[in-house]
Amino acid sequence: MMHFRNTKLILLIIFIFISCSNEEENNIFDESSFSYDMDFNNYDIMNSDSLSYQLSIDILDPKIQTIDMSIHNDSEIYEKFSIINLDSTQIFNGKISLMNNKSFSVSFSNNRNGIVAFDYKIPEKRNINTTLFFNNESSFKKHSFLFEKDFITTDSFIYDEFKRYSFSDREVIVLYDIDNLSNQSVVDIQRFLLNGGFLVVFLSQNFEKNKDLIYSLGYPEVKAIRGSARNQFFPIENINFVSKDFSDANSLLNQSKIYRYIELSQNERQYSSISFSNNDPLLVEKKILDGKAFFITTKLDKSWSNNDFQSALSDIIDRIFFQKIISNAY
């Protein structure tokens, strides 16, 4: 009788084990088991040796206790960790090395199987051929440092409206505080924009005298010069242009103080990428023909801005050039 009871107990244990095994096999791990969103801060390629990422993940299947995430290529694992099911969305931030790394895969797995979620190609940082124009020698000496970067190759000129300049191999043109362009220069810059070039303009307070710049190159309409005393400044609030990634780059603009700026007509606000608390633009970004034009409404001058704005403006320049790199890569 005892032997029969032991046999029944053994059979019951085997049945439970088989049932659990079948349940485990039927509980398939696939992309319906979880949801995620993963972003990489490609802007890091400009000034960093690592690439930041942010992963937002929610494990949907209550039977799954953990999921492993890995960032890897065929020969190396750059990042790997386990995510515990907490019945809520979790956010993870991290960095992976950019050294000799051009592409990688992101995978999710548990103890049953794995899924290669996607492959990722890192944009390649490269030199951008640029022509710089300044209104005089003093401006050149004070502001050319903004473009002394390892990804910018420059030709610099004091603009002469009686000369013709070639932009055939240029990708970016910068105009610093120039209030007039010759008809020939306007036509040549139009052709440059038609070929996908980027135009960066530090606005001159007198450029509105040349209406052709507004009609032909998308220059914004000027209303007035705002501000006068250094004991008052205009805070910068709308900083979407530098908040497209999840780094803390916007702190540079938060520390900046702008004492004076060129106020534009209200219809220019729709093109604003960075603006003051009163919604007046600090940076205007427009699509012109097949290219882009960026207009900056203040200056690196102690009567216009504080020293902190110098670092902020350098970062803005980097991001404009980064856009050019990305536009060509994709």
Question: Across the 330 residues of the chain, what is the mean pLDDT of every consecutive 10-residue run?
Answer: 41 38 53 88 86 92 90 88 91 87 88 81 90 91 89 93 92 92 92 95 74 78 83 81 59 86 90 91 94 94 89 90 80
Helix (H) or strand (E) holding 325: helix 308-329
User: Would residue 24 count as lying in a domain?
Assistant: no
Q: Give me the pLDDT at residue 128, please.
A: 94
Last residue of a domain, which of 121, 144, 176?
A: 121
- Calculate ∠ Cα 279-281-287, nearest 5°: 125
> Could you list the residue range(s) of the whole structural domain that residue 257 is in?
128-329
On whether the CB atoms of residues 198 and 291 are closer than 8 A, the answer is: yes
Q: Give me the pLDDT at residue 76, please.
A: 87
On whether the CB atoms of residues 165 and 130 are closer than 8 A, the answer is: no
> Do 176 and 115 lie in a common domain?
no
Going by C-beta distance under 8 Å and a sequence separation of 6 or more, which residues neighbour residue 316?
241, 242, 274, 283, 296
Q: Give me the pLDDT at residue 14, please.
A: 36
Q: Give me the pLDDT at residue 23, please.
A: 43
Burial 187-207 (b: 16+ CB within 10 A, else e): ebbbebbeeebbbbbbbbeeb
> Do 158 and 275 lie in a common domain?
yes
Distance between CA 119 and CA 104 in Å, rounded? 6
Helix (H) or strand (E) holding 254: helix 251-254
Q: Give me the pLDDT at residue 207, please.
A: 57
Q: Give me the pLDDT at residue 293, please.
A: 95
> Do 101 and 159 lie in a common domain?
no
User: Would residue 272 count as lying in a domain?
Assistant: yes
Structurally, the chain folds into a number of domains equal to: 2
Q: Give me the pLDDT at residue 248, please.
A: 55
CATH number at residue 87: 2.60.40.150
Q: Give me the pLDDT at residue 219, please.
A: 87
> Do 115 and 176 lie in a common domain?
no
The token duo for 62 is: 């209550």
Q: Which of 128, 176, 168 is closest to 152 using CA atoms?
A: 128
> Do 293 and 194 lie in a common domain?
yes
Q: Would you call 174 exposed, middle or buried from its count of C-beta atoms within 10 A (0-12, 13-18, 19+)?
A: buried
User: Would residue 167 count as lying in a domain?
Assistant: yes
On whether the CB atoms of residues 60 and 35 are closer than 8 A, the answer is: yes
Last residue of a domain, which of 86, 121, 156?
A: 121
User: Would residue 40 count as lying in a domain?
Assistant: yes
Distance between CA 197 and CA 292 in Å, rounded? 7
Tokens 């003051």 label which residue?
276
Distance between CA 296 and CA 282 in Å, rounded? 6
User: Would residue 171 count as lying in a domain?
Assistant: yes
How many other CB atoms are there within 10 angstroms of residue 228's CB atom?
Answer: 10
Q: Where are the beta strands (DSSP E) in the chain?
A: 34-40, 50-59, 66-72, 77-84, 90-97, 103-109, 114-121, 128-134, 152-158, 172-176, 198-202, 222-226, 236-238, 261-264, 272-276, 281-288, 291-296
On whether the CB atoms of residues 65 and 23 are closer than 8 A, the answer is: no
User: Would residue 316 count as lying in a domain?
Assistant: yes
Last residue of a domain, which of 77, 96, 121?
A: 121
